Amino acid sequence: MNTLRKDSKIYVAGHNGLVGSAIWNNLKQRGYHNLVGRSHRELDLTDQNQVKAFFDQEQPDAVVLAAAFVGGIMANMLYRADFIMMNMKIQCNVISEAYAHGVKKLLFLGSTCIYPKNAPQPMKEDCLLTSPLEYTNEEYAIAKIAGLKMCESYNLQYGTNYIAVMPTNLYGPNDNFHLENSHVMPAMMRKVYLAKLLHDGAWDKIATDLNKRPVESVTGTATREDILKVLAKYGIHDNRVVLWGTGRPLREFLWSEDMADASVHVLLNVNFSDIIGIEKYSSVHYGASTDGAVDRNHSTGRGGYIPSLGEIRNCHINVGTGKELTIRQLSELVVKAVGFEGVVEFDVSKPDGTMRKLIDVSKLHSLGWTHKVEIEDGVKKLFDWYQESLQK
């Protein structure tokens, strides 16, 4: 049942990012135009006072929490303190203020890196917290686990309707192509593209690329020597690309606009009671007892521990395709999309990260949503978007 009207005010935190921008566009396409967004310059979500002032002013009916401090393996290892602290601050501030201001529906976006390194594959929601995490992204994972537990706990204690979705690896329009902190696919695609340009001697296009997205402050105005030096640091050479690891890890990828569609589907059509499969949950929390009398203990919506419901956990929803390919296979798709005729090498001295991260999406399918864009088409679409972005 959709509890949000077309004129409901919906705050999309992180509306300029990969997922947030796609969710924003999806909502608009569905006729939801009363949307609110703030850039990081306009609103620092790690600042509690700023977040409170924003909620005081805007009073949103619903919140999509897509803002996060994110990055790939290198960034996760370099900025461990930032990854846990920044994300915890964002989540605590937004979720607590959403509750304080009576937000009807909140959608929290996490990541499938929440699951143990050696979790059984494909990973079901119930494997959360069953064994150790992957070390290279432990801090980010712990922050996201805390976020989904906040949603779960607020629902159980206060009768709120906060839903957490855990997307697999995402890619698509507005992706992050900055080599210092991007995820595997955009980083790989840009490396292959620049190696091709070096081979072609297309220095004008290299300059355009670096002016749009400088690498360690090196822009297209730098000397060719400086450009070659910084690109080589990231494995980019004339007609040769060096990627991290063995190429054997398996990864699942979801087109960001598919993720947005799944997110909006959940926001509009899925309630906490649907996920835990207990129809009487909402009546217990909001005052009606099983015999029709008013339950005075829970008439305010404050539930606390309800023995009749048993242990409720792992209420988040995996969002993905349920399909996977190796990093090497991904590189072959990227090479084909870019039209690269050079060599792709793998530096086995560098870490692979988790060897496999396939998720079970049966819960998502049971809630009425499946993906549409397959990886072969998605890689081509991403490269087309990247080229178009260079002209803006």
List residues with catalytic annotation: 140
Cα 30 → chain centroid: 21
β-pair type (62-65, 10-13): parallel
Alpha-helix runs per DSSP H in the chain: 18-29, 48-58, 73-78, 80-100, 138-158, 184-200, 203-212, 224-233, 256-269, 272-276, 281-285, 327-338, 362-366, 375-389
CA angle 92, 94, 99 (to 5 degrees): 95
Whether residue 371 contacts residue 255, with contact meaning beta carbons closer than 8 Å, is answered with yes
CB burial of 336-347 (b: ≥16 within 10 Å; e: otherwise) equals ebbebebebebe
Whether residue 97 contacts residue 51, with contact meaning beta carbons closer than 8 Å, is answered with yes
Site of tokens 């690309």: 241
Cα 157 → chain centroid: 26
For residue 286, give both structure tokens.
Answer: 């909001």
**Cβ neighbours for 185, distance < 8 A, ≥ 6 positions apart:** 169, 171, 175, 253, 330, 334, 379, 382
- Please give the Cα distance from 165 to 66 (Å, whole number): 10
**Cβ neighbours for 69, distance < 8 A, ≥ 6 positions apart:** 82, 83, 86, 87, 90, 140
